[in-house]
Chain A
Amino acid sequence: MKVDLELVLAHDGTEWIARNGSVVARGRTLSELDRELERILAASGKYRRGTRVLVLMGFDNSTIPTWIRQYAAHYFNRYVSIEV
């Protein structure tokens, strides 16, 4: 599926963090994270108001503890459509 924005997702024990080279969004829940991302995208000026941005948040599997990776090497990816 073709996406407008790709972010790497991780959890630091307290909050979800979605980032790429230019965007860093945080939230205690995924809903919070999505709202924060919406705010960041609106503030960036890159997208016109009302544009739907399709975002892929791929979980950073290197944050899965090494001893678990031999059992399961994939957590989840999520596709979110954010209206700017």
Chain B
Amino acid sequence: MDNVNRKWYSGMLTTEDWWAVWIGLFMFLLGLLSLTGVDLVGWMAKTHTWVLGHPEKGFATSLSAAGKAYADMSPLASFLVTYAVFTALTCIGAYFMKLNVKKFFIGFTIIFLITWACWVIGHEAHFKATPNDWDKYGITWGLSLGGGFSYILALAVGLFIGNFMKKFAGFLSEAAKPEWFIKTAIVYLGVKVGLMSMEAASYTFELAAAGMAATFVAYMLFWPIIYTLGRRVFKLPRQWAAVLSSGISVCGVSAAVATGGAIRAKPIIPVMVAMLVVVFAMIELIILPGLYTAFLIEEPIVAGAAMGMTVKTDGADAAAGAIMDEMMRAKAAQSGIFWQEGWILTSAIMTKIWIDMFIGIWAFVLALIWVYKVERQPGQLHVGPSEIWFRFPKFVLGYFITWFVYVVIAMFWPDLVEAAIVGANTVQSPMRKMMFMLTFVSIGIITDFSKLRGMGRLALLYAIALVFIIAPIALIVAWIFHHGMLPLPA
């Protein structure tokens, strides 16, 4: 019964979800030790804006160690230590998850190098710097793409590999784990939200509460509408309609699998729906950040929350939120408005986290309805509430732990805040952003658009539901609960 979830601790060493918690909390705890005056995370490599051919701000300045205590560490040493630490941690996770460790190691190394190459190239001033910074870097022209360009470049490279170098993508797939990387990043994001709470506690909690309310309303509207559309218009069998409804309207692959399990569907049903979800999430990731930046610049938090309810995988949603955060801040900066980094991203992720947490409860309720009302097979004893725990997104525990620890420090030991921030800043910034970058490359590698071929009716229903039902309702619900909220000024 090794691969069966039987005990509450089942999967603690064998699932990506839990390994996001372990790697997330490990670095969080190392960072927290800055309270003792020791910086154990400052070796982390960090990118800087640089200028090609510049005598003082050239390529050699593109990287440095993040911590002041490591100021004398060479950029190359910092990069190599970063590689060594994260490769070791992820390979340990790969071993326990019974992946092919050798293949994982090679694949991760390649993805790591691609990631950092995109990150450094994306920070060249002619790509990144906005016009108000051109003088600072001694340049007279630029594309003004902001920090988001690194993400877009990483995504583009990943997609190229995934769609035009399929054999290579197949080899890398052992290590291309976007959900693992983004869940780890979200645990680190908890540190950032903790720091944001230190500064604006009531606003952060308001954002969280609004996100919860919006999620609940969206669930109640989306699922029945899509289910009815699937059954009445597209004539799908009950099980297909239920799984597809959850995949489209709740939270993508995890909701599709949870629903498939809840209604005891043949596994092929959620697997097919999952393929659709992953491809469409990528399409949303490509289109929505630019679209929302163009039309919702006055309501950036509405845009973030709507993104969280519309983009259907954690990886794609966080990625889209990160790109949109950069795009919207760059656009606002052109008008002389400077917002703090991370609020728009947080609104996108907060909504998604509430959705993730509700999936287990939703699947439990659905299982009760299906088992006791729809199918009513004799002998079915009960649906165990343990099913809620097995489906609960464990990375969310890491996110809330890291968030609340910093809130508690700020509330009860304000004198320690300055020392706490030393480690926190490294974890919540370069470490988190690196995990985001790894996600971008990986999500591109695993997304093969040709999988839509042959999906016919399902793909059509998905597209119609997304464009005409999910996205508009998400925007309306997000507006109701978040309108008027803005990122804090930088």
Residues of A within 8 A of B1 (CB): 6, 8, 58
Question: B381 contacts A80, CB within 8 Å?
Answer: yes
Residues of B within 8 A of A8 (CB): 1, 3-4
Q: With A and B bound together, what is the CA distance between A3 and B266 in angstroms?
A: 25
CB-based nearest A residue for B97: A69
Measuring CB to CB, which residues of chain B are less than 8 angstroms from any residue of chain A?
1-6, 11, 14-17, 99, 173, 177-180, 252-254, 256-258, 260-262, 264, 266-268, 270-271, 274, 313, 367, 377, 379-382, 384, 386-387, 390-391, 446
Q: With A and B bound together, what is the CA distance between A6 and B16 in angstroms?
A: 26
Give residues of chain A (54-84) contacting chain B, Cβ–Cβ below 8 Å: 54, 56, 58-83
Q: A1-B384, A30-B377, A78-B380 are in contact. Are A64 and B257 (CB under 8 A)?
A: yes
A22, chain B: closest CB distance, angstroms: 14
Residues of A within 8 A of B382 (CB): 79
A77, chain B: closest CB distance, angstroms: 7
Can you report 8 A-B residue pairs in the complex whose CB atoms are below 8 A from each other? A58-B6, A64-B257, A65-B271, A70-B178, A71-B253, A74-B258, A77-B390, A83-B379
Question: B253 contacts A76, CB within 8 Å?
Answer: no
Question: B17 contacts A67, CB within 8 Å?
Answer: no
Question: B261 contacts A70, CB within 8 Å?
Answer: no
Of residues A61, A76, A82, which shows the largest number of chain B Cβ atoms within 10 Å of its Cβ?
Answer: A76
Residues of A within 8 A of B260 (CB): 75
Q: With A and B bound together, what is the CA distance between A71 and B250 in angstroms?
A: 14
The yes or no answer to A44 lying at the interface (CB within 8 A) is no
Question: B257 contacts A59, CB within 8 Å?
Answer: no
Q: With A and B bound together, what is the CA distance between A57 and B87 in angstroms?
A: 37
- Chain A interface size band reads 35 or more
Question: B377 contacts A67, CB within 8 Å?
Answer: no
CB-based nearest B residue for A31: B377
B173, chain A: closest CB distance, angstroms: 7
Q: A67-B446, A76-B262 are in contact. Are A61 and B5 (CB under 8 A)?
A: yes
Of residues A30, A63, A65, A78, which shows the largest number of chain B Cβ atoms within 10 Å of its Cβ?
Answer: A78
A39, chain B: closest CB distance, angstroms: 14
The yes or no answer to A34 lying at the interface (CB within 8 A) is yes
Question: B264 contacts A73, CB within 8 Å?
Answer: no
Q: With A and B bound together, what is the CA distance between A82 and B271 in angstroms?
A: 30
Q: A30-B264, A34-B379, A60-B3 are in contact. Are A75 and B257 (CB under 8 A)?
A: yes
CB-based nearest A residue for B4: A58
B75, chain A: closest CB distance, angstroms: 32
CB-based nearest A residue for B18: A73
Q: With A and B bound together, what is the CA distance between A43 and B313 in angstroms?
A: 48
Question: B274 contacts A77, CB within 8 Å?
Answer: no
The yes or no answer to A13 lying at the interface (CB within 8 A) is yes
Question: A72 contacts B384, CB within 8 Å?
Answer: no
CB-based nearest A residue for B382: A79
Question: A82 contacts B379, CB within 8 Å?
Answer: yes
A2, chain B: closest CB distance, angstroms: 12
Question: A70 contacts B384, CB within 8 Å?
Answer: no
Q: With A and B bound together, what is the CA distance between A74 and B390 in angstroms?
A: 6
B266, chain A: closest CB distance, angstroms: 6
Question: A81 contacts B379, CB within 8 Å?
Answer: yes
Question: B379 contacts A75, CB within 8 Å?
Answer: no
Q: A8-B4, A62-B3 are in contact. Are A72 and B381 (CB under 8 A)?
A: no
Question: B267 contacts A63, CB within 8 Å?
Answer: yes
Question: A68 contacts B271, CB within 8 Å?
Answer: yes
CB-based nearest A residue for B359: A72
Residues of A within 8 A of B274 (CB): 68, 71
Q: With A and B bound together, what is the CA distance between A76 and B266 in angstroms?
A: 11
Question: A68 contacts B253, CB within 8 Å?
Answer: yes
Q: Per a CB cutoff under 8 Å, which of A30, A61, A65, A71 touches B313?
A: A71
